[in-house]
Amino acid sequence: MAEKRDYYEILGVSQSADLDQVKKAYRKLAIKYHPDKNPDDSAAEGKFKEATEAYEVLSTPEKRQRYDQFGHAGLEGMDVSAQNFGGFEDIVNNIFGDFGDLFGFSDSRHGQTGPKRGRNLQYDLEIDLEDVVEGKSTEINIPRLEACETCNGSGAEPGTQPQVCPECTGRGKVSMQSGFFSVTRTCARCGGQGRVILNSCKVCGGEGMTQKTRNLRVSVPKGVDTGNQLKVRGEGESGVNGGPPGDLIVVIHVRSSEQFIRQGNDLITAVCITFTQAALGVEVDVPTIKDTEELQIPPGTQFGDRLRIGGKGIPYYNSRASGDLIVIIEIQTPKSLTAQEKELLETFADMRGEQIESDNSNILRRIGERFFRNADGNR
Ligand SMILES: [Zn+2]
Ligand SMILES: [Zn+2]
């Protein structure tokens, strides 16, 4: 693959550019290189994709920060973005959302006459944390509107045809003189369709659509997280007047686990050991998401210490690497002692003289490091 260009350079903005400036710069390039304006021009298409990718990164604070820090390498396997799932068109669609009708698609998308693209459907899919490790193929049932089979979506009773609208004579628009201006309006009689149905189809009541439940298999890639979206092309609602169907957007929700806390691609779990084990060291079995793993706890381990088992966390999307399993140690102090145990411990205490650290600020600093360092994602 060719060397990737710097995203700031591509958009022609400085590193300190704010979101507005990034948007403006992208908008300019997008209009110039948009494939609709440059049909069959692969150089323009390349520029458009390049600018779109740069925009995607520089307009997402988290990605931009990674990029600023680590360059292109910082974004590899970072998360499951639209880019990973559905390819570049998804990003464009997302940005169209931002920019509205900038690219002049308004006619085909919102126009009253002619083919209309079906609506996108959203489906919320709950999966278990375990499914995130391997990925999952699952069946979902989606209720959606499909073209009525009786009338083939025309809305007219079989054997009859929609008629040319008498109000607008099929233009879908009516013009009215208002002062100096001629105002053109969508025809109210036919809703801009240019045709009216005189005999409605009895099955769909003239809507041309009926409610159907569709069974689909979707495969959820490993490494996904709550809020990630999968786009299944063409599985949304049927288009109108021969327009293309919308897409199905599957929104992932990962159920929380009782054994693990997820932190990005790391998993956090806890094990409890006795105070003698903490002092002497011990080998314990730690539950991982698939089975268990042996963990050597070193002598002198303190309450709240974190031990890391590499690669036993959540895999990264599109990568063989995985996050780690972080094991937080809890130390159990015996709540009741026999007379003999007490005596032994007292002997032990005498032997040691039981000198403990009394510098309060030092203790507080350590506790802060142990319990709060991960709150902001630091390790
Ligand atoms: Zn029908
Ligand atoms: Zn009309």
How many domains is the chain built from? 4
Same domain flag for 130 and 41: no
Same domain flag for 97 and 157: no
* Residues with a beta carbon under 5 angstroms from ion ligand 1: 148, 150-151, 201, 203-204
Whether 377 maps to a domain, the answer reads: no
Q: What pLDDT score does 27 carry?
A: 84
Type and span of the H or E element at 268: strand 266-274
Which of 58-62, 65-69, 79-83, 157-161 is predicted least confidently?
79-83
Average pLDDT, the chain: 82
Type and span of the H or E element at 267: strand 266-274
Which of 141-145, 175-179, 318-322 is predicted least confidently?
175-179
Domain that holds residue 215: 113-162+197-255
Task: Look up residue 294 and give its amino acid.
Answer: E
**Does the pTM of the predicted model rise above 0.85?**
no
Domain boundary among 196, 212, 244: 196
Whether 216 maps to a domain, the answer reads: yes
Q: 42-66, pLDDT tens digit by residue?
A: 888 888 888 888 888 888 888 888 8
- Least Cα distance to 125 among 257, 253, 249, 255 occurs for 253
Task: Look up residue 284 and give its amino acid.
Answer: V
Provide mean pLDDT across the span 282-291.
Answer: 93
Same domain flag for 120 and 218: yes
Q: Which residue has the higher pLDDT, 295 or 5?
A: 295
Distance 150 CA to ligand 1 centre (A): 5
Distance 158 CA to ligand 1 centre (A): 8
Distance 174 CA to ligand 2 centre (A): 8
| CATH code of residue 124 | 2.60.260.20
Provide mean pLDDT across the span 335-352.
Answer: 93
Residue 101 pLDDT grade (very low, low, confident, very high; cuts 50, 70, 90): very low
Buried b (16+ CB within 10 A) or exposed e, 17-54: beeeebbebbbebbeebbeeeeeeeeebbebbbbbbbb
Same domain flag for 26 and 45: yes
Distance 199 CA to ligand 1 centre (A): 11
Same domain flag for 270 and 348: yes
Distance 294 CA to ligand 2 centre (A): 75
Quote the DSSP letter at residue 118.
P
Provide mean pLDDT across the span 252-272.
Answer: 93
Distance 149 CA to ligand 1 centre (A): 6
Whether the predicted pLDDT of 149 surpasses 70:
yes
Structure-block tokens of residue 332:
């159990």
What does each C-alpha distance from 349 to 83, 178, 262, 343, 358 come to in angstroms? 62, 100, 40, 10, 17
Whether the predicted pLDDT of 173 surpasses 80:
yes
Q: Write phi, then psi, for 22 (nearest 5 degrees).
A: -65, -45
Q: Using an 8 Å Cβ cutoff, are 203 and 219 in contact?
A: no
Q: Which residue has the tokens 């288009």?
A: 239
| CATH code of residue 1 | 1.10.287.110
Q: What pLDDT score does 268 carry?
A: 95
* Residues with a beta carbon under 5 angstroms from ion ligand 2: 165, 167-168, 187, 189-190
Whether the predicted pLDDT of 112 surpasses 50:
no
304 burial level (CB within 10 Å; 0-12, 13-18, 19+): middle
Structure-block tokens of residue 36:
């609709």
Q: What pLDDT score does 366 carry?
A: 81
Q: Using an 8 Å Cβ cutoff, are 289 and 130 in contact?
A: yes
369: Cα within 13 Å, side-chain hemisphere = 10
Same domain flag for 172 and 304: no
Distance 145 CA to ligand 2 centre (A): 25
Whether 378 maps to a domain, the answer reads: no
| Ramachandran sector of residue 203 (left: φ over 0; alpha: ψ -120 to 50; beta: rest) | alpha
Distance 157 CA to ligand 1 centre (A): 7
- Alpha carbon 216 to chain centroid, angstroms: 20
Same domain flag for 129 and 238: yes
Same domain flag for 46 and 157: no
Structure-block tokens of residue 87:
């390819």
Domain boundary among 235, 255, 275: 255
Same domain flag for 158 and 174: no
Same domain flag for 147 and 235: yes
Distance 155 CA to ligand 1 centre (A): 5
Same domain flag for 133 and 250: yes
Q: Which ligand gives the minimal distance to the CA of 149?
A: 1
Distance 90 CA to ligand 2 centre (A): 35
| CATH code of residue 173 | 2.10.230.10
Whether 357 maps to a domain, the answer reads: yes
Q: Which ligand gives the minimal distance to the CA of 193?
A: 2
Q: Which ligand gives the minimal distance to the CA of 160?
A: 1
Same domain flag for 94 and 123: no
Distance 104 CA to ligand 2 centre (A): 25
